[in-house]
Structure 1
């Protein structure tokens, strides 16, 4: 009597799960917004180094990734995972880079692979950079939440 048609019973455990899921979804959304800022930084550095300094795309991706990762670290620390246990800034930054290294390798591999294989990505590097960023996003979110910004 009083339960949903499917026979399940709503209770405090369901409410707790719903609130945790909502919080996770909000954090993931914030992480995605921060990622868009990181994508802009990443792309700007790639374009500056490829079209301004004459570097090859594969070489430009390394400093561009580091610039974007540093930007997203600062924004995620202040915005997405605010309230996490704070470690000293330089230690937390190093943990962020280390924890996101696998996602960074995936990001780099996808972007360089697309740029090398697709003429449209070679002509418009932002496409390769964006595909690389998206490919590493879920891995980086999990690593950031559970290894770097614990308790947020």
Structure 2
């Protein structure tokens, strides 16, 4: 085995020397480090070049002329390593958020797998140094991506990943189009579609102590929108049309809700709260019937509507409503949005995705 550890850097002068020394303490003799530096103005590249004399033929640097981003850095590292005979690659951050102590276990697991993921989202994994809100948004983003893509990987967004050469060849790196935060999702999703054997090991992700994070809120929001592009580019999936039909059904339910509310609350002057509750039940019942006969028709052809599944769908709708409110409040708290309507739209989308997932895999699941 010949292992290359790829480490993108931009302004990591406060971390890079200690990081390189620590990584070398945890890796075998057949493992090397490649730092990909985007012309850091703080002298990161010079610091690495000073260290090279201590690790001849094992520490390398790829100097780039400008800041080109995370995805371009890793793709350049893969190309560099593949051309030099490396057959295993490890992606790592230089700020110690990815603890080098996990590398030996990842090396052990890569012996029998194509991809090994350092996962924050499985039992034993987690995050230190993040607020509860930031952790909620991160896990929510990963869950959202999993549901949209139909991918079982628990930590789609994490950046501590080990790849065999064969996995990179199956993915076909020339087809990778995502940038920044979305890059890791596209890589893992395509590995999943290609039939790669993938395993996750638990890690504790520690927020950086030195330097400034490169992640911005804009990148995160853009990724959640562009996840659909990854899905459509990767394959044509009937599930996409199923979701669209589910969304249309939800829209019809909203219209029904508003019409009934207008008639009984505005025209007939009945109390708003009981009317609103009745509107919800009627609209949800309508949605259940339409979803049974249309949205999930390929799953329910041999079934008839039932009280049990109707009740499960009502519970699913209430769960979606709860997620809607939580996400809306999180966006208003964490993001500086110009209109509250944007937060509500994000909440509606999140609630709809959860409702769709519960409906698909529980309410309208196929009989075995």
The TM-score normalised by the length of structure 2 is 0.30
Task: Verify the 8 A CA contact 2:257 2:282 in the aligned structure 1.
Answer: yes
1:58 positional shift: 3.3
**Residue 281 (structure 2) pairs with residue 66 (structure 1):** yes
1:54 corresponds to which residue? 269
Q: Supply the distance in 1 between the matched residues of 2:351 and 2:275 (Cα, whole angstroms).
A: 18
Residue of 26, 31, 34 corresponding to 2:249: 34
Q: Quick check: 1:93 aligned with 2:261?
A: no
Structure (1/2) with the larger helix percentage: 1
Aligned partners of 1:97 and 1:103: how far apart in 2?
10
Contact 2:289 2:305 in 1 (8 A): no
Give 1:35 deviation, angstroms.
1.1
Q: Is the 8 A contact 1:100 1:144 kept in 2?
A: no
SS of the aligned residue for 2:298 comes to coil
Q: Distance in 1 between matches of 2:282 and 2:366?
A: 26
Alignment correspondent of 1:142: 357
Q: Alignment length, in residue pairs?
A: 129
2:319 counterpart residue number: 102
Unaligned runs of 5+ in 2: 1-170, 177-189, 196-233, 327-340
Larger radius of gyration: 2
Task: Report the Cα offset of residue 104 of structure 1.
Answer: 3.7
1:143 positional shift: 1.3
Aligned to 2:130: none
> Unaligned regions of 5+ residues in structure 1, if any?
111-126
Q: Distance in 1 between matches of 2:254 and 2:323?
A: 15
Range moving further from structure 2, 97-106 or 58-67: 97-106
3-state secondary structure, aligned to 1:54: coil
Residue 18 of structure 1 pairs with residue 186 of structure 2: no
What secondary structure sits across from 1:6 in the alignment? helix
User: Residues 4, 136 of structure 1: CA spacing in aligned structure 2 closer, same or farther, 3 A cutoff?
Assistant: closer
Residue pair 1:45, 1:64 contacting (<8 A) in 2 also = yes
Distance, in Å, in 1 between the alignment partners of 2:175 and 2:248 is 39
Contact 1:42–1:64, Cα closer than 8 Å, also in 2: yes
1:87 Cα deviation from its structure 2 partner: 5.9
- Coordinate RMSD, CA, aligned: 3.8
Change (3 A) 1:89 1:5: closer
Higher strand fraction (1 or 2): 2
Mapped to 2, the partners of 1:7 and 1:42 lie a distance apart of 45
Higher relative contact order (CA 8 A, sep 6+): 1
